[in-house]
Amino acid sequence: MRRFLRPGHDPVRERLKRDLFQFNKTVEHGFPHQPSALGYSPFLRLMAIGTRSGAIKLYGAPGVEFMGLHEENNTVMQIHFIPDQCQLVTLLDDNSLHLWSLKQHNGASELQEEHRFTLKGPPGSPPSATQITAVLPHSSREVLYLGTESGNVFVVELPSFRVLEDRTITSEAVLQRVPEDYCSRRSCELVEALREHPKNPDQILIGYSRGLIVLWDLQNSKVTHHFLGSQQLENLYWQRDGSKFISCHYDGSYTQWPVSNDNRQPEPLENLVPYGPFPCKAISKIYWQTTKNGLPYIIFQGGMPRASYGDRHSISVIHGSQQTAFDFTSRVIDFFIIFSSEPMAEFDDPSAMVVLAEEELVVIDLKSAGWPAVHPPYLASLHCSAITCSHHVSNIPLKLWERIISAGSKQNIHYSNMPWPIDGGTNLAPDPPQRDLLLTGHEDGTVRFWDASGVCLHLLYKLSTVRVFLTDADPNDNMNTLGEDEWPPLRKVGTFDPYSDDPRLGIQKIYLCKYSGYLAVAGTAGQVLVMELNDEDAEHVVDHAEADLLQDQEGYRWKGHEKLKTRDGPVRFEAGFQPFVLVQCQPPAVVTSLALHSEWKLVAFGTSHGFGLFDHQQKRLVFVKCTLHPSDQLALEGPLSRVKSLKKSLRQSFRRIRRSRVSSRKRRGGSGNASEVQEANAKFDQDALQEMELAPVQRKIEARSAEDSFTGFVRTLYFADTFLRDSSRHCPSLWAGTNGGTVYAFCLRVPPAERRMDEPVRAEQAKEIQLMHRAPVVGILVLDGRSTPLPEPLEVAHDLSKSPDMQGSHQLLVVSEEQFKVFTLPKVSSKLKLKLTALEGCRVRKVTVANFGSCKTNDYSENDLAVLTNLGDIQIISLPFLKLQIRYPCIRKEDVSGIASCVFTKYGQGFYLISPSEFERFSLSTRWLVEPQCVVDVPELTSNNHVHNRSGMENTTRKS
Amino acid sequence: EFRRFSLERSKPGKFEEFYGLLQHVHKIPNVDVLVGYTDIHGDLLPINNDDNYHKAVSTANPLLRIFIQRKEDADYSAFGTDTMTRKKNVLANVLRPDNHKKKPHIVISMPQDFRPVSSIIDVDILPETHRRVRLYKYGTDKPLGFYIRDGSSVRVTPHGLEKVPGIFISRLVPGGLAQSTGLLAVNDEVLEVNGIEVSGKSLDQVTDMMIANSRNLIITVRPANQRNNVVRNSRTSGSSGQSTESSLPSSTPNILTNFLQGEEESDEEDIIIEDSGEPQQIPKAVRSSESLESLTQIELHESTQNGFLPSSEINLNHSAGSISMEYEEHDPDHKSLEEDGTIITL
């Protein structure tokens, strides 16, 4: 009957919702997970990165970014830009070729896949006959040369991918005039490299894996020169004038060959093993760059002495007497050199080297003395130490922003001043609406401050908490200190360093007050640091206090890690955030919640044992509260990892099995036709059903009880100035919510500012609420008389928020994993609730108040709750009536780490990790949308063929 | 023997005092008796504690008819639903206890306290192949004690028989509530949890839904064993006789539902400790919506006025309530204050 009274759809509200909410995944920040290929277009000045999951990402000037995804999700093996075009070709590990174009649409460029093609051999031929190993886009832009495992080079027309069979360069044709004795020893085998002559587009150099190199004349379809290499070939490189080329080999040697019309079968000019005489690893790629002063740059990847340095990932740069072997932190995927693209230039004059390693991008300035690294404006390695938590602060005041930047610039003095060399395309995106900071906490005890205002996530400043503590590792132990005569001249580059000296240093919670510059940071071993921003270096003693959260609880023994040892005496801190107070929880369990009130100068912290309040002005512990249930042995004994149940691990292993079956099936179905695929799918569904019957995963249905484990785990802490005792006087209060569904409220007495140092802060427990459904409390919020969430500390003082309404009655919103409940204050009576889990079977993982503005009018905005559930859905729930507004699927529910990493901003945006190294940025708002908006214009074509040649040549190759 | 006396309606006092008063009025000070009364639906209900005594007094309109029997020759079967519709018979039994009977009744003691128990509910509105079970955990220390799993079941669809994924009961813990009630069995397919269909939901979602509702869990299942289904008679004959003789606990649904509605509310209440004092249940905030109250009144009014059978009427109301709750909370659209009131009452 009530149903009839319910207004079905309120059209006004529906329209408003369309103006307020909109879900978009806007941009991926950070470094691509598992990169597998690199390409560069000197013509467009764009760089392309392919990944093992089939994504390709294009980067140019900061803000110029494109992303594409191959449907097959197969590894991208090679990327080649078509000379002088906004087009590129990718080769996947299923031997398919894909043509992508940058097309302009509504004034902005978009990356689109145009064609796909798989080379097919004659019937009955082995798959290796058409397995592509080398790709050469010809400077004529009309054809692609495809080298294969069989030794044949196929020619396909662009953009149709039509095979021009009469132009195929067969290995038989190549071998015709090769001397008998050489030929018998080495058959052609697979094509390792294809290179177009820099001056004469009718000649291409073909290198075969056994060492034979030939110069092929396209006009006459015949070999003009034979170069009889004796070592297994890795790669080839033409010198700029086309008079010489260089080949590099598996044994760590490189060879220079002359090209002239006098000698059709010349002997090598020079053969060198740069890191000999002992056996060396292969040199897989080499550059020979000419300069005005005559001394060339010889740059090659690998070639290290096998026994002593075979495990290094190195690229060596040799310029006259200067030689450095850049030693990378992870495997080098590929690299390219940026050099003069001026067509008439006589010399290469290289300016920078861009290296894609597995975990980071490193750019070396080759023009400045000492070859310093360039600080990349994007593709930051977020995971240089594993991310353990993140914290977002919107709308940073300019003053604080500048101070953080200045602190950061002092850390970056060793970087080159060179402007970012990859600068293609034009960024059309408007300036970011506000200055946003994303803070990431890391396993190694550092906090990184990222400029998250725009499309480029850029590192501003890095804070380390390690100096406060005594750790096993000596901070002065420098891996880079090498003697003068050290050989090979290795130099470590890059920041990726996933190995933490001490896991206890890990950062777990961060809270930054943007108005005061106070920062609170808490870690794995119960350490809580309060810091202040200082523009100068300083040496001072960090005040140290201990908070015994077990208090009078007797007879328990902590079996987890010990607390961190602190450094005695003054410690020198660099400019930036400098700690002045350290509180260590006892037992030293991981800090699970943290709150800072910069106006009251109080910091609250909680662990699995209880919570405490510390007055950082007087440097005095105000109180501690033990939240432990006496039966909760697990919480007492040790770190959380111990409780990972057998059940859970079994469940995970089941999931793994299932996933691997899915993927293996998918692969098999990939090459078949549509009906086959359907059949396979149907079969799979059946199998999956059967599998479920065979191996049932069980779930226990049991009510939660007070005796469950970790009920005392403090999930959330909240400061509020509200009516706790009576409705006439409001007072500061501290609220805490636990895993067992308990909410504690403490009434605080903070002395007025003039007596702040003289009188102690007092606290008294005023309320304790036990939610009967006992689900973990994940959020506590007080709404003022206008049902608006209370402002942040100091927000009103800085005129950035209206003062809260203290006339009307306040309400308390308690968010548990299962329900949203509104209670009245000061007398707690329940007002309304939303039982999310009972209705939908999902649980709240993250919740924040977000302000949504209408895209139609500037003067309307409202506060709602942004909620992420364990199913990866995002729901927007209205305040104060708790009505579900809208729901969007966002993260796969299997992606537990993605869901756990999600942070919402105050204006309806958010970030979550899609891999250890990448944040996906999403927006729920119609008004705040940060996404790449850029255009790539085709630079004017010069008629000079020279340019075309160079750019054609520059396309990089990489072999599997 | 008939006695007529007056009681102060506003201050009925305690059951003990009332019992003493009855013994005094009837001049049977040392005789144990069973006390019963007829409620508005004509059912003979027992009075044996403060709660049902107060309930009885509140139903007096203005007369409260009370029946007293000697305990040793009491006819327990007289109590229950629809007893007064068989008035002649019952009254004959009650008034002439020495009336000869064909077989002696098994003596089952009266419950000393009304307490919601696990039961099969909504038998009259569900298909016979389904069973809706309320597992009532309140007041027992027993664990719910069952496990669920993924599985597949065969459905009839427009395209013929189709195998679809489903959720099944996989295990009952010995001594748990689920097993001790005997209402659920291994391989029963779970269709709904507290009125929400589980189709399309994952095992984890259903697990979370069940745990979220664990204090008052209502599961609709399709029993694996379809032979024990309740066979319903046609409506006309079903109204008499059948329900009391049925062995199923559903024989007194109206008592339960009457009480449950109150109980359910308080059961959900969170507890507050103010200033480290005594724990108390958190009261409901006063409703802001007037229209809602009038709505509930209308509903109650109707249920007493129209001529439906009382037992099914209450059940229907109850299920309608739970369904409307589902709609209300699912629906994101309405925002008026009036509407928000409905959540408050639930």
Rounded to 5 degrees, φ, ψ at A183 are -65, -40
Q: How far apart are CA A892 and CA A3, in angstroms?
A: 34
Q: How far apart are CA A388 and CA A572, in angstroms?
A: 26
CB contact under 8 A, A698 and B147: yes
SS3 A156: strand
Q: B60 and B134: one domain?
A: no
Q: Is a pLDDT exceeding 90 seen at residue A128?
A: no
CB contact under 8 A, A702 and B214: yes
**CA nearest B286 in A: which residue?**
A831
Q: Which residues contact A536 (CB under 8 A, 6 or more apart)?
A: A575
Task: Indicate the residue among B210, B228, B246 that finishes a domain.
Answer: B228
Q: Considering chain B, what percentage of its residues have pLDDT values greater than 70?
A: 57
Tell me, what amino acid is at A53?
S
Q: B110 and B132: one domain?
A: no
CA B217 to chain A, closest CA, distance in angstroms equals 10
Residue A597 in contact with residue A674, Cβ under 8 Å? no
Q: How far apart are CA B134 and CA B178, in angstroms?
A: 10
Nearest CB neighbour to B335, from listed A769, A819, A881: A881
Query: Chain B contacts of A10, Cβ < 8 Å?
Result: 333-335
CB contact under 8 A, A703 and B326: no
Nearest CB neighbour to A696, from listed B150, B211, B342: B150
> What is the CATH classification number for the domain harbouring B77?
3.10.20.90
Residue with tokens 């062995």: B247
CA A769 to chain B, closest CA, distance in angstroms equals 4
Q: How far apart are CA A561 and CA A585, in angstroms?
A: 12
CB contact under 8 A, B152 and A693: yes
Task: List the single range of A99-108, A644-653, A679-688, A786-795 with lowest mean pLDDT.
Answer: A644-653
H helix or E strand, kind and range, residue B98: none
The string of pLDDT tens digits covering residues A499-544 is: 877 889 999 999 999 999 999 999 999 999 999 999 999 999 999 9
Mutation to test the B interface, candidates A701, A882, A887, most B Cβ within 10 Å = A701
Residue with tokens 């908490």: A465
Burial class, A827, CB count within 10 angstroms (exposed 0-12 / middle 13-18 / buried 19+): middle
Q: Which residues contact A673 (CB under 8 A, 6 or more apart)?
A: none
> What is the CATH classification number for the domain harbouring B185?
2.30.42.10
Query: Chain A contacts of B271, Cβ < 8 Å?
Result: 769-770, 772
Give the pLDDT confidence score for residue A328 in this predicted structure. Answer: 94
**Residue B250 placed within a domain:** no
H helix or E strand, kind and range, residue A117: strand A108-118
Mean pLDDT of A428-440: 91
Tell me, what amino acid is at A811?
Q
Whether residue A883 lies within 8 A of chain B, CB to CB, comes out as yes
Residue with tokens 């009885």: B56
Query: Chain A contacts of B282, Cβ < 8 Å?
Result: 769, 823, 828-830
Give the pLDDT confidence score for residue A951 in this predicted structure. Answer: 40
Angle at A512 between CA A508 and CA A518, to 5 degrees: 115
Q: B125 and B110: one domain?
A: no
Rounded to 5 degrees, φ, ψ at A228 are -95, 85
Query: Chain B contacts of A699, Cβ < 8 Å?
Result: 147-149, 203-204, 206-207
Rounded to 5 degrees, φ, ψ at B18 are -65, -40
CB contact under 8 A, A818 and B148: no
Query: Chain B contacts of A864, Cβ < 8 Å?
Result: none
Higher pLDDT, A960 or A847: A847
**Residue B237 placed within a domain:** no
Mean pLDDT of A857-873: 93
| Domain extent listing, chain A | 709-837, 842-935
Residue A422 in contact with residue A354, Cβ under 8 Å? yes
CB contact under 8 A, A701 and B150: no
- Checking phi first, is residue B71 left (phi over 0); if not, alpha (psi -120 to 50) or beta? alpha
Q: B142 and B50: one domain?
A: no
SS3 content of chain B, % helix, strand, coil (to 5): 35, 20, 40
Q: How would you write B37-71 as a 3-class SS string?
A: EECCCCCEEEECCHHHHHHHHHHCCCCCCEEEEEC
Residue with tokens 């292969």: A282
Task: Indicate the residue among B114, B136, B153 that finishes a domain.
Answer: B114
Query: Chain B contacts of A839, Cβ < 8 Å?
Result: 196, 209, 326, 329-330
Nearest CB neighbour to A830, from listed B137, B270, B320: B270
Q: How confident is the model at residue A696 (pLDDT cuts 50, 70, 90)?
A: low
CB contact under 8 A, B324 and A702: no
CB contact under 8 A, A769 and B147: no
Residue A613 in contact with residue A622, Cβ under 8 Å? yes
CB contact under 8 A, A703 and B215: yes
Rounded to 5 degrees, φ, ψ at A216 are -110, 135
Q: How far apart are the first and last CA of chain B?
A: 46
Q: What is the DSSP string of B162-182?
A: EEEEEEEEEEE-TTSHHHHHT
Q: What are the Cα distances from residue B251, in Å, to A908, B109, B124, B230, B232?
A: 54, 16, 12, 12, 13
CB within 8 Å of chain B, chain A residues 666-685: none
Dihedral over Cα of A302, A303, A307, A309: its sign:
negative
Q: Considering chain A, what percentage of its residues have pLDDT values greater than 90?
A: 63
Mutation to test the A interface, candidates B153, B291, B329, B342, most A Cβ within 10 Å = B329
The string of pLDDT tens digits covering residues B172-206 is: 988 888 888 888 999 999 999 998 999 889 999 99
**CA nearest A686 in B: which residue?**
B163
Tell me, what amino acid is at B92?
A
Pick the closest to residue A389 from A513, A267, A511 (CA basis).
A511
Give the pLDDT confidence score for residue A959 in this predicted structure. Answer: 40
Q: How far apart are CA A829 and CA A175, in angstroms?
A: 92
The string of pLDDT tens digits covering residues B44-100 is: 888 888 888 888 888 777 788 888 888 776 666 666 555 444 444 545 455 554 544
CA A854 to chain B, closest CA, distance in angstroms equals 18
Query: Chain B contacts of A774, Cβ < 8 Å?
Result: none
Number of structural domains chain B divides into: 2
Rounded to 5 degrees, φ, ψ at A117 are -155, 140
The two structure tokens encoding residue A83: 């000379």
Query: Chain A contacts of B276, Cβ < 8 Å?
Result: 765, 768
Q: How confident is the model at residue A155 (pLDDT cuts 50, 70, 90)?
A: very high
Q: What is the DSSP string of A641-654?
A: GGG--HHHHHHHHH
The string of pLDDT tens digits covering residues B140-156 is: 677 888 999 998 888 88
Q: How far apart are CA A186 and CA A190, in angstroms?
A: 11
Query: Chain B contacts of A823, Cβ < 8 Å?
Result: 282, 285
- Checking phi first, is residue B50 left (phi over 0); if not, alpha (psi -120 to 50) or beta? alpha
Whether residue A899 lies within 8 A of chain B, CB to CB, comes out as no
Q: How far apart are CA B333 and CA A17, in angstroms?
A: 10
Mutation to test the A interface, candidates B190, B271, B272, B276, most A Cβ within 10 Å = B272
Q: Is a pLDDT exceeding 50 seen at residue A943?
A: no
- Checking phi first, is residue B263 left (phi over 0); if not, alpha (psi -120 to 50) or beta? alpha
Whether residue A828 lies within 8 A of chain B, CB to CB, comes out as yes
Mutation to test the B interface, candidates A20, A699, A822, A871, most B Cβ within 10 Å = A699
Chain centre to alpha carbon of residue A1: 53
Residue A496 in contact with residue A579, Cβ under 8 Å? no
Give the pLDDT confidence score for residue B266 in this predicted structure. Answer: 43
pTM, two decimals, is: 0.79
Q: B169 and B217: one domain?
A: yes
**Chain A to chain B Cβ contacts (< 8 Å):** 193
CB contact under 8 A, B210 and A701: yes
The string of pLDDT tens digits covering residues B201-246 is: 999 999 999 988 888 889 999 998 887 776 655 444 433 333 333 3
CA B133 to chain A, closest CA, distance in angstroms equals 15
Q: B147 and B72: one domain?
A: no
Residue B239 in contact with residue A730, Cβ under 8 Å? no
CB contact under 8 A, A775 and B212: yes
Q: B71 and B144: one domain?
A: no
DSSP β-ladder status, B131-136 and B216-222: antiparallel
Tell me, what amino acid is at A741?
G
Tell me, what amino acid is at B224?
A
CA A843 to chain B, closest CA, distance in angstroms equals 8
Residue A340 in contact with residue A954, Cβ under 8 Å? no
Q: Which residues contact B91 (CB under 8 A, 6 or more apart)?
A: none
Q: B128 and B211: one domain?
A: yes
Q: What is the DSSP string of A413-474?
A: TTS--PPPS---SEE-PPPPSS--EEEEEETTSEEEEEE-SSSS-EEEEEEE-GGGEE-SS-
Q: What is the DSSP string of A803-829?
A: PP--SSPPEEEEEESSEEEEEESSS--
Task: List the single range of A19-33, A644-658, A756-770, B23-37 with lowest mean pLDDT.
Answer: A644-658
Q: How far apart are CA A19 and CA A853, in angstroms?
A: 8
Give the pLDDT confidence score for residue B327 in this predicted structure. Answer: 34
The string of pLDDT tens digits covering residues A885-895 is: 999 999 999 99
Neighbours of A679 (CB within 10 A): 12
The two structure tokens encoding residue A744: 């504690």
**CA nearest B167 in A: which residue?**
A698
Nearest CB neighbour to B165, from listed A7, A689, A699: A689
DSSP β-ladder status, A46-51 and A844-853: unpaired
Pick the closest to residue A648 from A696, A697, A692, A690 (CA basis).
A697
**Residue B189 placed within a domain:** yes
**Residue B67 placed within a domain:** yes
Nearest CB neighbour to A692, from listed B152, B209, B282: B152
Nearest CB neighbour to A832, from listed B276, B326, B340: B340
**CA nearest A838 in B: which residue?**
B209
Query: Chain A contacts of B214, Cβ < 8 Å?
Result: 701-704
Q: How far apart are CA A855 and CA A16, in angstroms?
A: 10
Q: B22 and B110: one domain?
A: yes
Query: Chain A contacts of B196, Cβ < 8 Å?
Result: 838-841
CA A598 to chain B, closest CA, distance in angstroms equals 27
Q: B34 and B137: one domain?
A: no
CA B139 to chain A, closest CA, distance in angstroms equals 13
Give the pLDDT confidence score for residue A777 in this predicted structure. Answer: 96
Nearest CB neighbour to A841, from listed B205, B270, B329: B205
The two structure tokens encoding residue A486: 């050290």
CB contact under 8 A, A7 and B152: no
User: Where would I find the H helices in A642-711?
Assistant: 646-670, 674-694
Higher pLDDT, B326 or B158: B158
Half-sphere exposure at residue B130, Cβ-oriented, CA atoms within 13 angstroms: 15
Task: List the single range of A248-262, A606-620, A779-793, B326-340 with lowest mean pLDDT.
Answer: B326-340
Nearest 10 degrees: CA dihedral of A274, A280, A282, A287? -10
The two structure tokens encoding residue A763: 């606290």
Could you list the residue range(s) of the whole structural domain that residue B130 is in?
Answer: 118-228
